[in-house]
Amino acid sequence: MTVVASLFAILILTAAVWVVTLRNLFRAALSLGLVLLGVAGVFILLEAEFLAFVQILIYVGAILTLVIFAIMLTATPHGSPEAPAHRQPLAAALASGGLFAVLAGSTQALVWPTLPVSDAVSLATLGTQLVTTLVLPFEVISLVFVAAMVGAIAIASAKRPGSR
Amino acid sequence: MAVGWFVLLAHALFCLGVYGMLTRRNAIGLLLAVELILNAAALNFVLFSRVFGAVQAQAFALFIIALAACEAVVGLAIILSLSRSAKTIAADEVQLLKG
Protein backbone atom coordinates (compact mmCIF):
# COMPACT_ATOMS: atom_id res chain seq x y z
CA MET A 1 0.00 0.00 0.00
CA THR A 2 2.90 2.34 0.74
CA VAL A 3 4.22 1.97 -2.80
CA VAL A 4 0.82 2.55 -4.37
CA ALA A 5 0.17 5.55 -2.14
CA SER A 6 3.54 7.04 -3.01
CA LEU A 7 2.83 6.60 -6.71
CA PHE A 8 -0.52 8.34 -6.31
CA ALA A 9 1.14 11.14 -4.33
CA ILE A 10 3.75 11.65 -7.06
CA LEU A 11 0.98 11.69 -9.68
CA ILE A 12 -1.09 14.19 -7.69
CA LEU A 13 1.77 16.56 -6.91
CA THR A 14 3.29 16.49 -10.39
CA ALA A 15 -0.05 17.12 -12.06
CA ALA A 16 -0.92 19.82 -9.50
CA VAL A 17 2.32 21.64 -10.33
CA TRP A 18 1.34 21.44 -13.99
CA VAL A 19 -2.13 22.81 -13.18
CA VAL A 20 -0.71 25.98 -11.65
CA THR A 21 2.28 26.52 -13.94
CA LEU A 22 1.41 25.45 -17.49
CA ARG A 23 0.81 28.40 -19.80
CA ASN A 24 -1.67 26.51 -21.96
CA LEU A 25 -4.94 26.48 -19.99
CA PHE A 26 -6.25 23.49 -21.89
CA ARG A 27 -3.28 21.42 -20.78
CA ALA A 28 -3.68 22.76 -17.25
CA ALA A 29 -7.29 21.57 -17.25
CA LEU A 30 -6.24 18.10 -18.45
CA SER A 31 -3.62 18.03 -15.66
CA LEU A 32 -6.41 18.88 -13.23
CA GLY A 33 -8.08 15.71 -14.50
CA LEU A 34 -4.93 13.77 -13.54
CA VAL A 35 -4.99 15.34 -10.06
CA LEU A 36 -8.65 14.41 -9.62
CA LEU A 37 -8.02 10.82 -10.72
CA GLY A 38 -5.08 10.59 -8.32
CA VAL A 39 -7.20 11.91 -5.45
CA ALA A 40 -9.89 9.36 -6.36
CA GLY A 41 -7.18 6.68 -6.13
CA VAL A 42 -6.21 7.91 -2.67
CA PHE A 43 -9.91 7.80 -1.70
CA ILE A 44 -9.96 4.13 -2.73
CA LEU A 45 -6.82 3.50 -0.63
CA LEU A 46 -8.63 5.14 2.29
CA GLU A 47 -11.58 2.77 1.74
CA ALA A 48 -13.99 5.43 0.57
CA GLU A 49 -14.93 3.74 -2.70
CA PHE A 50 -18.24 5.56 -3.06
CA LEU A 51 -16.55 8.94 -2.78
CA ALA A 52 -13.95 7.86 -5.32
CA PHE A 53 -16.66 7.08 -7.83
CA VAL A 54 -18.50 10.31 -7.02
CA GLN A 55 -15.23 12.16 -7.52
CA ILE A 56 -14.69 10.59 -10.93
CA LEU A 57 -18.31 11.04 -12.01
CA ILE A 58 -18.81 14.63 -10.87
CA TYR A 59 -15.32 16.09 -11.04
CA VAL A 60 -13.80 14.35 -14.03
CA GLY A 61 -17.10 13.75 -15.77
CA ALA A 62 -18.94 17.01 -15.23
CA ILE A 63 -16.77 19.80 -13.84
CA LEU A 64 -13.76 19.12 -16.04
CA THR A 65 -15.94 18.93 -19.15
CA LEU A 66 -17.51 22.24 -18.15
CA VAL A 67 -14.10 23.84 -17.60
CA ILE A 68 -12.85 22.64 -20.99
CA PHE A 69 -15.98 24.00 -22.67
CA ALA A 70 -15.44 27.34 -20.95
CA ILE A 71 -11.78 27.43 -22.01
CA MET A 72 -12.77 26.84 -25.62
CA LEU A 73 -15.65 29.34 -25.51
CA THR A 74 -13.56 32.11 -24.01
CA ALA A 75 -10.44 31.54 -26.08
CA THR A 76 -9.74 34.85 -27.75
CA PRO A 77 -8.76 34.66 -31.42
CA HIS A 78 -5.79 36.95 -30.96
CA GLY A 79 -4.80 34.83 -28.02
CA SER A 80 -2.51 36.06 -25.31
CA PRO A 81 0.72 34.15 -25.78
CA GLU A 82 2.69 37.37 -25.34
CA ALA A 83 0.98 38.48 -22.16
CA PRO A 84 2.52 36.96 -19.06
CA ALA A 85 0.46 34.06 -17.78
CA HIS A 86 1.67 34.57 -14.25
CA ARG A 87 2.41 37.53 -12.05
CA GLN A 88 4.99 37.61 -9.29
CA PRO A 89 5.75 33.87 -9.32
CA LEU A 90 8.69 34.23 -6.94
CA ALA A 91 6.77 36.08 -4.22
CA ALA A 92 3.86 33.68 -4.59
CA ALA A 93 6.19 30.67 -4.36
CA LEU A 94 7.73 32.11 -1.20
CA ALA A 95 4.30 32.79 0.30
CA SER A 96 2.85 29.37 -0.47
CA GLY A 97 6.09 27.63 0.51
CA GLY A 98 6.02 29.48 3.82
CA LEU A 99 2.39 28.50 4.28
CA PHE A 100 3.32 24.88 3.62
CA ALA A 101 6.16 25.09 6.15
CA VAL A 102 3.84 26.54 8.80
CA LEU A 103 1.13 23.96 8.14
CA ALA A 104 3.56 21.04 8.05
CA GLY A 105 5.37 22.28 11.14
CA SER A 106 2.14 22.55 13.10
CA THR A 107 0.64 19.22 12.04
CA GLN A 108 3.73 17.03 11.93
CA ALA A 109 4.45 17.92 15.57
CA LEU A 110 1.20 16.22 16.52
CA VAL A 111 0.99 12.55 17.33
CA TRP A 112 -1.40 10.99 14.85
CA PRO A 113 -3.21 7.78 15.65
CA THR A 114 -2.20 4.89 13.43
CA LEU A 115 -4.62 3.87 10.72
CA PRO A 116 -6.99 1.25 12.09
CA VAL A 117 -6.72 -2.08 10.29
CA SER A 118 -10.04 -1.87 8.54
CA ASP A 119 -12.69 0.37 9.94
CA ALA A 120 -14.39 1.01 6.66
CA VAL A 121 -17.41 3.28 6.71
CA SER A 122 -20.04 1.31 4.86
CA LEU A 123 -22.07 2.88 2.07
CA ALA A 124 -25.29 1.86 3.85
CA THR A 125 -24.24 3.80 6.95
CA LEU A 126 -23.40 6.83 4.82
CA GLY A 127 -26.79 6.68 3.10
CA THR A 128 -28.64 6.28 6.38
CA GLN A 129 -26.77 9.24 7.88
CA LEU A 130 -27.60 11.38 4.85
CA VAL A 131 -31.34 10.91 5.33
CA THR A 132 -31.42 10.97 9.13
CA THR A 133 -28.83 13.02 11.03
CA LEU A 134 -27.54 15.00 8.05
CA VAL A 135 -30.84 15.46 6.29
CA LEU A 136 -30.86 19.25 6.79
CA PRO A 137 -27.41 19.90 5.21
CA PHE A 138 -28.32 17.43 2.48
CA GLU A 139 -31.48 19.32 1.56
CA VAL A 140 -29.72 22.67 1.86
CA ILE A 141 -27.10 21.42 -0.60
CA SER A 142 -29.85 20.48 -3.07
CA LEU A 143 -31.38 23.94 -2.67
CA VAL A 144 -27.97 25.56 -3.23
CA PHE A 145 -27.55 23.37 -6.30
CA VAL A 146 -30.85 24.48 -7.83
CA ALA A 147 -30.08 28.12 -7.05
CA ALA A 148 -26.63 27.80 -8.63
CA MET A 149 -28.02 26.22 -11.79
CA VAL A 150 -30.74 28.86 -12.19
CA GLY A 151 -28.26 31.62 -11.47
CA ALA A 152 -25.74 30.23 -13.93
CA ILE A 153 -28.35 30.05 -16.69
CA ALA A 154 -29.51 33.59 -15.90
CA ILE A 155 -25.96 34.96 -15.94
CA ALA A 156 -24.72 33.14 -19.01
CA SER A 157 -27.83 33.43 -21.15
CA ALA A 158 -27.02 35.33 -24.32
CA LYS A 159 -28.32 38.81 -23.71
CA ARG A 160 -27.52 41.54 -26.17
CA PRO A 161 -25.26 44.11 -24.54
CA GLY A 162 -27.24 47.19 -23.67
CA SER A 163 -30.61 45.49 -23.50
CA ARG A 164 -32.23 45.22 -20.08
CA MET B 1 0.95 3.93 6.22
CA ALA B 2 1.30 6.95 8.44
CA VAL B 3 -1.54 9.39 8.78
CA GLY B 4 0.82 12.36 8.94
CA TRP B 5 2.07 11.46 5.49
CA PHE B 6 -1.42 11.84 3.97
CA VAL B 7 -1.84 15.11 5.88
CA LEU B 8 1.38 16.36 4.27
CA LEU B 9 0.01 15.41 0.85
CA ALA B 10 -3.13 17.45 1.51
CA HIS B 11 -1.00 20.39 2.71
CA ALA B 12 1.07 20.27 -0.47
CA LEU B 13 -2.05 20.16 -2.65
CA PHE B 14 -3.54 23.09 -0.73
CA CYS B 15 -0.37 25.19 -1.01
CA LEU B 16 -0.10 24.50 -4.74
CA GLY B 17 -3.66 25.74 -5.05
CA VAL B 18 -2.76 28.89 -3.11
CA TYR B 19 0.24 29.40 -5.40
CA GLY B 20 -2.05 29.10 -8.42
CA MET B 21 -4.51 31.60 -6.95
CA LEU B 22 -1.72 34.09 -6.32
CA THR B 23 -0.07 33.83 -9.72
CA ARG B 24 -2.71 33.06 -12.34
CA ARG B 25 -3.97 35.96 -14.40
CA ASN B 26 -6.59 34.03 -16.31
CA ALA B 27 -9.89 33.72 -14.43
CA ILE B 28 -10.33 30.08 -15.49
CA GLY B 29 -6.84 29.35 -14.16
CA LEU B 30 -8.00 30.79 -10.83
CA LEU B 31 -10.97 28.40 -10.85
CA LEU B 32 -8.63 25.45 -11.50
CA ALA B 33 -6.55 26.50 -8.48
CA VAL B 34 -9.71 26.69 -6.34
CA GLU B 35 -10.54 23.12 -7.39
CA LEU B 36 -7.11 22.04 -6.09
CA ILE B 37 -7.80 23.68 -2.73
CA LEU B 38 -11.24 22.08 -2.44
CA ASN B 39 -9.75 18.70 -3.29
CA ALA B 40 -7.18 19.09 -0.52
CA ALA B 41 -10.02 19.75 1.92
CA ALA B 42 -11.98 16.74 0.71
CA LEU B 43 -8.85 14.60 1.01
CA ASN B 44 -8.47 15.64 4.64
CA PHE B 45 -12.11 14.86 5.38
CA VAL B 46 -11.86 11.38 3.86
CA LEU B 47 -8.58 10.72 5.68
CA PHE B 48 -10.04 11.61 9.07
CA SER B 49 -13.19 9.65 8.31
CA ARG B 50 -10.90 6.63 7.83
CA VAL B 51 -8.85 7.34 10.95
CA PHE B 52 -11.72 7.97 13.34
CA GLY B 53 -14.36 5.83 11.62
CA ALA B 54 -16.65 8.84 11.38
CA VAL B 55 -19.24 8.58 8.64
CA GLN B 56 -20.15 12.28 8.88
CA ALA B 57 -16.72 13.22 7.54
CA GLN B 58 -17.41 11.28 4.33
CA ALA B 59 -20.78 13.02 4.05
CA PHE B 60 -19.05 16.37 4.32
CA ALA B 61 -16.55 15.34 1.64
CA LEU B 62 -19.60 14.62 -0.50
CA PHE B 63 -20.94 18.11 0.27
CA ILE B 64 -17.57 19.60 -0.70
CA ILE B 65 -17.76 17.91 -4.09
CA ALA B 66 -21.33 19.17 -4.59
CA LEU B 67 -20.39 22.72 -3.59
CA ALA B 68 -17.37 22.56 -5.91
CA ALA B 69 -19.75 21.73 -8.74
CA CYS B 70 -21.93 24.75 -7.84
CA GLU B 71 -18.87 26.98 -7.62
CA ALA B 72 -17.57 25.81 -10.99
CA VAL B 73 -20.94 26.30 -12.69
CA VAL B 74 -21.53 29.82 -11.35
CA GLY B 75 -17.90 30.84 -11.82
CA LEU B 76 -17.78 29.67 -15.41
CA ALA B 77 -21.09 31.39 -16.17
CA ILE B 78 -19.68 34.65 -14.80
CA ILE B 79 -16.49 34.17 -16.84
CA LEU B 80 -18.50 33.50 -20.01
CA SER B 81 -20.56 36.62 -19.44
CA LEU B 82 -17.37 38.56 -18.68
CA SER B 83 -15.66 37.40 -21.87
CA ARG B 84 -18.73 38.56 -23.77
CA SER B 85 -18.96 42.02 -22.23
CA ALA B 86 -15.37 42.89 -21.33
CA LYS B 87 -13.65 40.89 -24.12
CA THR B 88 -11.06 39.64 -21.65
CA ILE B 89 -10.92 37.06 -18.88
CA ALA B 90 -7.66 38.23 -17.36
CA ALA B 91 -8.57 38.80 -13.74
CA ASP B 92 -6.41 41.92 -13.41
CA GLU B 93 -7.71 43.65 -16.54
CA VAL B 94 -11.35 43.75 -15.51
CA GLN B 95 -12.09 47.15 -14.10
CA LEU B 96 -15.84 47.67 -14.45
CA LEU B 97 -18.42 46.59 -11.93
CA LYS B 98 -21.21 47.43 -14.36
CA GLY B 99 -20.62 46.16 -17.88
Q: Is the ipTM of this structure higher than 0.95?
A: no
The winner for highest mean pLDDT among A1-5, A79-83, B21-25, B35-39 is: B35-39
Residue A153 burial (C-beta neighbours within 10 Å; 0-12, 13-18, 19+):
exposed
The residue ranking higher by pLDDT, A117 or A147, is A147
* pLDDT reading at A56 higher than 90: yes
Q: What is the pLDDT of residues B19-74, one digit of tens each?
A: 999 998 888 999 999 999 999 999 999 999 888 888 888 999 999 999 999 999 99
* pLDDT reading at A26 higher than 60: yes
Alpha carbon distances (Å) from A7 to A4, A11, A56, B9, B63: 5, 6, 18, 12, 27
Residue A162 has a pLDDT of: 55
Residues with Cβ within 8 Å of A153's Cβ and at least 6 positions away in sequence, in order, are B77
Residue A74 touches partner B, C-beta closer than 8 Å: yes
State phi, psi for A50 to the nearest 5 degrees: -60, -45
Please name the member of B1, B59, B83 whose beta carbon is closest to the beta carbon of A74. Answer: B83
Residue A82 has a pLDDT of: 52
**Cα-trace Rg, chain B:** 17
DSSP string, A99-121: HHHHHHHHHHTS-PPPPPS--PP
Rounded to a whole number of angstroms, the distance from the CA of A50 to the nearest CA of chain B is 9
Question: What average pLDDT score do residues A48-66 get?
Answer: 91
CB contact under 8 A, A95 and B18: yes
Q: How far apart are alpha carbons B73 and B95 in whole angstroms?
A: 23
* pLDDT reading at A36 higher than 90: yes
Q: Which amino acid is at B68?
A: A
* pLDDT reading at A96 higher than 70: yes
Residue A100 touches partner B, C-beta closer than 8 Å: yes
Q: How far apart are alpha carbons A121 and A116 in whole angstroms?
A: 12
Residue B50 has a pLDDT of: 87
Please name the member of B33, B54, B76 whose beta carbon is closest to the beta carbon of A70. Answer: B76
Q: What is the 3-state secondary structure (H, E, C) of A15-43?
A: HHHHHHHCCCHHHHHHHHHHHHHHHHHHH
* pLDDT reading at A115 higher than 90: no
Q: Note the pTM of the prediction, 2 decimals.
A: 0.88
Rounded to a whole number of angstroms, the distance from the CA of B89 to the nearest CA of chain A is 8
